[in-house]
Structure 1
Amino acid sequence: MKPLELVCPAGTPAALRAAVEAGADTVYCGFRDETNARNFPGLNFSRAEMEESIDYAHRRGSKVLVAINTFPRAGAPELWRAAVDDAARFGADAVILADVGLLDYAANHQPGLRRHLSVQAAAANPDAINFYAETFGVRRVVLPRVLTVQEIAAINREIECETEVFVFGGLCVMAEGRCALSAYATGRSPNMNGACSPASHVHYKEEGSELVCGLGDFTINRVKKDAPAPYPTLCKGCFQAGDYQGHVFEDPASLDAATLITEFASAGVTALKIEGRQRSRSYTKTVVHTFRKAVEAQAKGLPIMANELQRLTEGQTTTSGAYSKTWR
């Protein structure tokens, strides 16, 4: 059995090289501006770095996908269109897009450039996916992290394009492309400005025996000073509802679906995606190397080791998320 394609993150040229050397089939990355959904200071690629990195990956047998997966501002699409044109000019193997206007632009102006549908489009049923495939020539869809493995299998039976699923990393527990919580708290939209819970709005302070984690004007979590402090994202914060106080949507935890790789293959999935463009190249190297072994083991019918990467997860805690319907 052919191993599933391993799609790996790179937030910097150094991380891209680390991913390729660790065994990535494909690396995804973005330009250093608001056209991609990991628009954090110190990350991403200049135009020169992108061109050089694509050449580096190709010479070593890996592909590069350019994420242009935020939504253009009304009346100002030029930055996003230029990103599509530059990705094509540099020889990218595909662009990852979410906005229908930008998909239309790419289909008409860069028809030879392969188009993947970003998870930010939140296409989670056959009708939606087939619309994108038939209208804009989308060849692959990245499925949102709200589906069970059985639902993914049912979708694959009714579509013609490839599917890609997240297998490890940060877990967005809201429907991607639809989250307004971070925008409400910070005034910056993750889906337009490219940064969920931007670091410029995160703050910590000590109150008595507690460490208070805040985002904008909101307190997101309170933990004991000696306890692990999760990064303050609203969807994983503590809420009080009546007499209940706790994590309403999901505990601070990372996705780890390594043990489901065989089920993904049986469900017709083409590619496994690792999240983490904002993480270090050491993280990238370790995670990619581990999943390289896992996908090859699956292809040979060998067992896949569980919890190999727990020390790299949020709060050292993992979940299979909606894949196994373990969410509240």
Structure 2
Amino acid sequence: MMELVCPAGTPASLRAAVDAGAHSIYCGFADDTNARNFPGLNFSRPEMADGIAYAHARGAKVLVAINTFPRAGETELWHRAVSDAEALGADAVILADLGLIAHAAERHPSLRRHLSVQAAAANPDVINFHASAFGVKRVVLPRVLTVDEIASINRDIDVETEVFVFGGLCVMAEGRCSLSSYISGKSPNMNGVCSPASHVAYAEEDGELAARLGGYTIHRTPAQAPAPYPTLCKGCFKVGTRTGYVFEDPASLDASELLPALARAGVTALKIEGRQRSRAYVAQVVRNFRQAVEALAEGRDVPLGTLARLTEGQAATAGAYNKIWR
């Protein structure tokens, strides 16, 4: 059975994910070391200890995401996060920065290391380098690859692969977002924020909901219509005579129909995005995907179409998995 790796932005979401059938939980500390550094999310050290204990008691693993890039000369916070993750009993750390991966391999050799999607490792050469140089055991593949490309990569590596199957998409190369940095002054890769809450504002205007980011209007949603997540890349803009989504449509990834193909491609683990989502959302998505991976493992048909109302704007896409352009 493929491993189901599920998000937890809070201790309550961790418990909900475990109870719904997650094989592994990924979460982060409440600081700049993880790429979902939003107010009210993430874990203190005592909360992480309790969460790991809760998961382990029920047969689930906990993977600690330390997947932002340390600022030059300020590595102490990131080094402490790796050390604390090991001391608290984490089953693995998810790392992106090359220097931090080297540090973990040298100072914490027994701590399992996964390569974050933030590292954008999309070919066998770079994956094999991380495996041979730093003992990386798993790579989270970027969301820019087709299923055939994933299969080709798996034939040339001796490392586990993990892929996203549900949740938000990023139009940039896995967090390298100049758009968000420009408008908010916060780097997703270094500060762990995309569309920080302090920069988001809403206002009802002429029967529409106007969403603003950093003072710029990025979307107007008619009354009663589902509103997209307030990121600049999913904003609706006027370009010449055309008004529409210039960078990316407000849709979520749903690759549930591709689970058999991903299994044949040699994928080890399936990842659900959504650490900023509610525990009710997490529980429902995890429960549905647990049923799907169990059905696949038992040779039954995978249930489809059960998560449509949980997608962004109630619209879904298979993303790059089925891309046909070249």
Cα distance in 2 for residues equivalent to 1:87 and 1:38: 17
Instruction: State the match for 1:185 in structure 2.
Output: 183
Q: Equivalent of 1:59, from 57, 60, 68?
A: 57
Instruction: State the match for 1:75 in structure 2.
Output: 73
Instruction: State the match for 2:224 in structure 1.
Output: 226
Q: TM-score, normalised by structure 2?
A: 0.97
Question: 1:60 deviation in Å?
Answer: 1.1
Give 2:241's aligned amino acid. D
Instruction: State the match for 2:253 in structure 1.
Output: 255
**2:118 matched to 1:120?**
yes
Q: Once the two structures are superposed, what CA deviation does each residue of 1:1-29 show, in whole Å capped at 9, x if it has no partner?
A: xx100001111111111111111110011
Give 1:170's aligned amino acid. G
Instruction: State the match for 1:21 in structure 2.
Output: 19
Aligned ranges 1:13-52 → 2 under 5 Å: 13-52=11-50
Cα distance in 1 for residues equivalent to 2:284 and 2:220: 31
Question: 1:209 deviation in Å?
Answer: 3.8
Q: Equivalent of 1:203, from 196, 201, 204?
A: 201
Q: Residues 301 and 249 (structure 1 numbering): CA distance in 2 closer, same or farther, change over 3 Å?
A: farther
Q: Once the two structures are superposed, what CA deviation does each residue of 1:268-303 show, in whole Å capped at 9, x if it has no partner?
A: 100000111111111111111110000011111211
Cα distance in 1 for residues equivalent to 2:87 and 2:204: 51
Question: 1:230 deviation in Å?
Answer: 1.4
Give 2:193's aligned amino acid. A
Cα distance in 1 for residues equivalent to 2:251 and 2:324: 12
- 3-state SS of paired residue (2:209): strand
Aligned ranges 1:1-328 → 2 under 5 Å: 3-325=1-323
Q: TM-score, normalised by structure 1?
A: 0.96
Q: Once the two structures are superposed, what CA deviation does each residue of 1:63-107 show, in whole Å capped at 9, x if it has no partner?
A: 110000011111100000000000011111100000011001100
Task: Give 5+ residue unaligned stretches, structure 1.
Answer: none
- 3-state SS of paired residue (1:297): helix
Question: 1:327 deviation in Å?
Answer: 8.4
Question: 1:132 deviation in Å?
Answer: 1.3
Give 2:275's aligned amino acid. R
Cα distance in 2 for residues equivalent to 1:59 and 1:229: 39
CA contact (8 A) 2:210 2:221 kept: yes
Cα distance in 2 for residues equivalent to 1:321 and 1:13: 30
CA contact (8 A) 1:122 1:177 kept: no
Cα distance in 2 for residues equivalent to 1:269 and 1:110: 27
- 3-state SS of paired residue (2:190): coil
Corresponding residue pairs, total: 326
Give 1:295's aligned amino acid. V
Give 2:34's aligned amino acid. N
- 3-state SS of paired residue (1:38): coil
* Percent identity over paired residues: 70
Single out whichever of 172-181 and 293-302 deviates more from structure 2: 172-181
CA contact (8 A) 2:176 2:188 kept: no
Q: Once the two structures are superposed, what CA deviation does each residue of 1:138-192 show, in whole Å capped at 9, x if it has no partner?
A: 1100011111111111111111111100011111222103221111110011111
Question: 1:326 deviation in Å?
Answer: 6.7
Cα distance in 1 for residues equivalent to 2:252 and 2:308: 9
- 3-state SS of paired residue (2:82): helix
Cα distance in 1 for residues equivalent to 2:152 and 2:183: 37
Cα distance in 1 for residues equivalent to 2:106 and 2:3: 28
Give 2:69's aligned amino acid. F
Q: Residues 189 and 66 (structure 1 numbering): CA distance in 2 closer, same or farther, change over 3 Å?
A: same
Cα distance in 1 for residues equivalent to 2:49 and 2:160: 26
Single out whichever of 159-168 and 172-181 deviates more from structure 2: 172-181
Give 1:108's aligned amino acid. E
Single out whichever of 44-53 and 300-309 deviates more from structure 2: 300-309
CA contact (8 A) 1:320 1:326 kept: no
